[in-house]
Chain A
Amino acid sequence: MFKRSILPVLAVLGVIIALWYATCIPMNAAWTIQQLERSGETMTTTEHIVDSWSQERPRLPAPHQVAAELWDTTVMKSVTSKKSLVYHGWITLSATLLGFGIGTTLGVLLAIGIVHSRTMDMSVMPWAIVSQTIPIIAIAPMIIVVLYSVGVQGLLPKAVISAYLSFFPVVVGMVKGLRSPDAMQLDLLRTYSASNAQRLWLLRLPASVPYLFASLKIGVAASLVGAIVGELPTGAVRGLGARLLAGSYYGQTVQIWSALFAAAILAAGLVILVGLIERMTLRKMGERP
């Protein structure tokens, strides 16, 4: 079972890495040729290839360079150092988690409102949809400027952007989940003269749990994107977004790529964590193994 699931993944990974190395050669060759022309030296093809994988500032860094940088900036640096990706990752992660919490709470509350009130269904849902059609890159600076002008800065503005991205999948999933009980399940509660609150708590909410988790997996990844985007327009010096930005200012492609990978690893970790909590919760709720 383990072998069957891991082998295809490894095969795909191998292909990607091979393609990556291959792409490095034409991408980085131009710079080498320029240097050679200036100095008048020549290189064999093999030397060309090796050179394209070991430049200081390549256009496209080779996988082992990114891996070495990742190793160097995580394991080899103290976590309080400004050079540590763990430090920057934590800054971004804390904004992500706060934003995810706010977004999820807001999403669940909105969904409960939408399911219980026709007015809210008609009025809130269209706006929620419109909100997602505006590119976050356009809104993020405005949110940060507006919040800055009322004296809010630091973690919260990033968390707000992150919440802005994560509430929507939660609203959509929860509305569907809260509406999933069928007429018979609802009638059953009517025969007991159950109150609205009892119907929500004993039927609609438990029935929506599987839908909630599907949304949370999308929401947590969106939250991370939101937190990173929130770090870009501030010229922040801390966080994965700041590392991306600084890397591109100074042409440090290796740094950009390692920050990208750190973000991807973080996102995967968060999604896997949500998946684990989902498994545990659904198992407790009597899911068939």
Chain B
Amino acid sequence: MIISAKNLDLTFQTNDGPVHALKDVNLEIEKGEFVSFIGPSGCGKTTFLRCIAGLEQPTGGQISVNGMTPDEARKARAYGYVFQAAGLYPWRTIGGNIKLPLEIMGFSKAEQAERVARVMELVDLSGFEKKFPWQLSGGMQQRASIARALAFDADILLMDEPFGALDEIVRDHLNEQLLALWARTEKTIGFVTHSIPEAVYLSTKIVVMSPRPGRITDVIDSPLPRERPLDIRDSKEFIEIAHRVRDGLRAGHQGDV
């Protein structure tokens, strides 16, 4: 078990009173899984991912990452985090941006260069090392930010709607690349998305959440094989899982109305 949450609770104290962002969240993630979090806006997907990353302090329950507290895991550099926006530093080249975590973690110059070259190849950006972020398209910038999260070889990759701002075609392409990368590196991936097809296509486990308070309403273990060509999305199994996810989302919504 690489990530385990037990009765996790998180309430934000805001000026308009408390916001119950996570309520009684229980989840176990095994090593090498690809887990998607899906749910309507405000259901706590980002908050849960940030709890795993130790960026947010839960107000109740337990969570462990690699057998440690999230804070310890963060200090042990157990995960790479990809934010919704690429967030590349505009004053650094693409290579310089990918090197950033390596500089902070004190890798040798030679090792930095070697790792940058390797992850840039992994995300298909070789040759763009000396370009500045504004010289790249949005999709390429997002790939650079994934390379940055991969550069220091953390076992876990946490991604918060990394492709949310991109168009369908680029997104399909990046999804394919992400699956290939996951197969090659055997990382554990936590992936937040709003798109049902994206969640079903990528995941071995789909976590359906619902808002107010944010909680898990369904956890679906995908029967799809690990090897997934794009046209698997027309298969019967795929459509069945997509239905189940949609039903889960709808059930979560009904509580509101």
Known contacts A190-B74, A191-B79, A192-B77; decide if A184 and B87 are in contact (CB<8 Å): yes
CB-nearest residue of chain B relative to A185? Answer: B87
Task: Report B-chain residues with C-beta under 8 Å of the C-beta of A191.
Answer: 53, 55, 74, 79-81
B89 and A203: CB pair below 8 A?
Answer: yes
Tell me if B12 counts as interface (CB < 8 A to partner A): no
| Cross-chain contact B133 with A188 (CB below 8 angstroms) | no
Q: With A286-B133, A288-B134 given, is the CB distance from A202 to B85 under 8 Å?
A: no
Given A286-B132, A288-B134, A192:B89 Cβ within 8 A: no
Chain A residues numbered 186-212 whose CB sits less than 8 Å from any CB in chain B: 187-194, 198, 202-203, 206-207, 209
| Chief secondary structure at chain B's binding surface | loop
A286 near B81: Cβ-Cβ < 8 Å: no
Closest residue of chain B to A281 (Cβ to Cβ) is B91
**Given A191-B79, A286-B91: A184 and B85 interface contact (C-beta under 8 Å):** yes
Contact A193:B80 (CB < 8 A) given known A286-B91, A288-B134: no
Question: How far, in whole Å, are A206 and B90 apart by their CA atoms in the complex?
Answer: 10
Q: Mark B132-168, 1 if CB is under 8 A from A, else 0.
A: 1110000000000000000000000000000000000
Question: Chain A: interface residue count, which band?
Answer: 10 to 19
Contact B104 A188 (CB under 8 A): no
Main secondary structure of the interface of A (DSSP, over half): helix
In the assembled complex, which residues on chain A have CB atoms less than 8 Å from the CB atom of B100? 192, 202
Cα–Cα, bound, A209→B92 (Å) = 13
Write the nearest CB–CB distance from B74 to chain A, whole angstroms: 6
B101: interface (CB < 8 Å):
yes
A285 at interface (Cβ–Cβ under 8 A)?
yes
Q: Which residue of A lies closest to B87 (CB)?
A: A184
Q: Note all chain B residues with C-beta closer than 8 A to A187.
A: 55, 81, 83
Interfacial residues, chain A to chain B (CB-CB below 8 A): 184-185, 187-194, 198, 202-203, 206-207, 209, 285-286, 288
Of the A-B pairs whose beta carbons lie under 8 Å apart in the complex, a sample of 9, sorted by A's number, is A184-B83, A185-B89, A187-B83, A190-B55, A193-B74, A206-B89, A206-B91, A286-B93, A288-B134
